Amino acid sequence: MAPAVAVENSVLEDHIALAAAEARVLRASNNAIDAIGIVGSTALGRCDIGSDIDLVAIVAEPPGKAVTSRNIGAVRIDVEWLRWDEAVATASQGGWAWELRKSARLGAAVPLYDPSNRFADLARCAAAARPDLQRYATELQAVRQRLAEVAEAGETDSASNEPLRGVLDSLALLFLLTTPNRYQKAKWTIEDLIAADESLFASALIGAYGFAEADQGDATRRIRAAEDCLNAVFDRLEQPAVAALVAMGYAPEHVEASYCARTLADARDLARVERYAEAAYVAGFAARLAIGMLRDCASGGLEAMAATAGFGALYAACFGERRPRPGSVAIAGRTIDRCADWLIQQGDRA
């Protein structure tokens, strides 16, 4: 698999310039701002032409809304407002994927205005944060057991790739929790795995979604299929449609549905920069997230849940038809061993 395409310098430079200009506007309108930094894709050098700009403002007392937004041309700028004690607590917290995601997000912030070196302090807090080690051990053992069941059934003999897909998704999360960026979003999963010397596992993960490789047509079909699947789920659950959720941006009243819709929007972004296999993977991942919202249909795995809801065909259309990469179980086993070694190291440090 080819390495992920680097962001064009001009896009990154434009986003940083817009962020710096917005920081000046914010400081001019609020003299209580202690620090402002860029977070998210721009801070990590991963923004593309369709990316939002995410800022964090440290203030003595936040305004009425936790997040404020405005558009400058075609670019949306979101500003999260935090008190210093809130920022420290967020960066320092351990826990699980969501907590560590927020911690790493602050830890990787790029300062725009920071006379007291607040973001350097937050980076140190984030570097010291750890997953819940007991939960990690339990989850890792469960993944190991499920992988053994896939191996016993025959990794290429299943009626679908779903059992292996579920195992590898869980393992990707566990492995990335051990890395500095933690698990941020499906859009960056393949790139982060490759950066952590897990290119074989990244390839196996895409293979479990039915794509050894993908072209523009594959990505377009899977994105459309995933949108149909998401909209069917959202309609059943009385949530807004995908397009409406994406237009809302930050939508705390529709947290799960919004996350699914934004994940699908990420698939479109990847397709636009010709990262078609990753786009197809992320579209399928969005469909898996959406089916997981059907808790009233919780019987067996996601395929069974989709079938119970009458969405079996919609769900199946979100994935490719290729069989998993040969040796995927062995590749996953080696990644599990790396996770186990990391867990032992954490115990030695305690």
The angle subtended at Cα 163 by Cα 264 and Cα 199, nearest 5°, is: 65
As separate numbers, helices (DSSP H) first and strands (DSSP E) second, the chain gives 15, 5
User: CA–CA distance from 333 to each of 52, 90, 328 (Å)?
Assistant: 37, 33, 8
Q: Is residue 234 within 8 Å of 240, Cβ to Cβ?
A: yes
Looking at residue 149, its amino acid is: E
Please provide residue 79's backbone torsions phi and psi, each rounded to the nearest 5 degrees. Answer: -120, 120
R_g of the chain, CA atoms, integer Å: 21
Q: Domain residue spans in the chain?
A: 9-128, 133-316
Domain 9-128 in CATH 3.30.460.10? The answer is yes
pLDDT at 1: 33
pLDDT at 133: 96
pLDDT at 5: 37
Looking at residue 275, its amino acid is: R
- Tokens for 297? 């249909």
| 3-class secondary structure, 75 | strand
Q: How far apart, in whole angstroms, are the C-alpha atoms of residue 288 and residue 293?
A: 9
pLDDT at 3: 33
Helix spans in the chain (H): 9-29, 84-92, 97-107, 118-128, 133-153, 162-176, 186-195, 199-208, 216-236, 242-248, 255-272, 276-292, 302-308, 312-316, 328-349
pLDDT at 56: 98
pLDDT at 6: 45
Determine which helix (DSSP H) or strand (DSSP E) holds 304, and give its type and residue range.
Answer: helix 302-308
Which residues are within 8 A (CB) of 189 and not within 5 positions of it... i.e. 6 or more apart? 172, 176, 183, 202, 205, 281
Which residues are within 8 A (CB) of 11 and not within 5 positions of it... i.e. 6 or more apart? 47, 48, 49, 51
Q: Is residue 103 within 8 Å of 126, Cβ to Cβ?
A: yes
Q: How far apart, in whole angstroms, are the C-alpha atoms of residue 223 and residue 271?
A: 9
Tens of pLDDT, residue by residue, the chain (350 residues): 333 334 457 889 999 999 999 999 999 999 899 999 999 999 999 988 878 999 999 999 888 788 999 998 889 999 999 999 999 999 999 999 999 999 999 999 999 999 999 999 999 999 999 999 999 999 999 999 999 999 988 755 445 689 999 999 999 999 999 999 999 899 999 999 999 999 999 999 999 999 878 899 999 999 999 999 999 999 999 999 999 999 887 788 999 999 999 999 999 999 998 999 999 999 999 999 999 999 988 777 899 999 999 999 999 999 987 777 789 999 999 999 999 999 999 986 65
User: CA–CA distance from 3 to each of 47, 70, 193, 203 (Å)?
Assistant: 16, 34, 10, 11
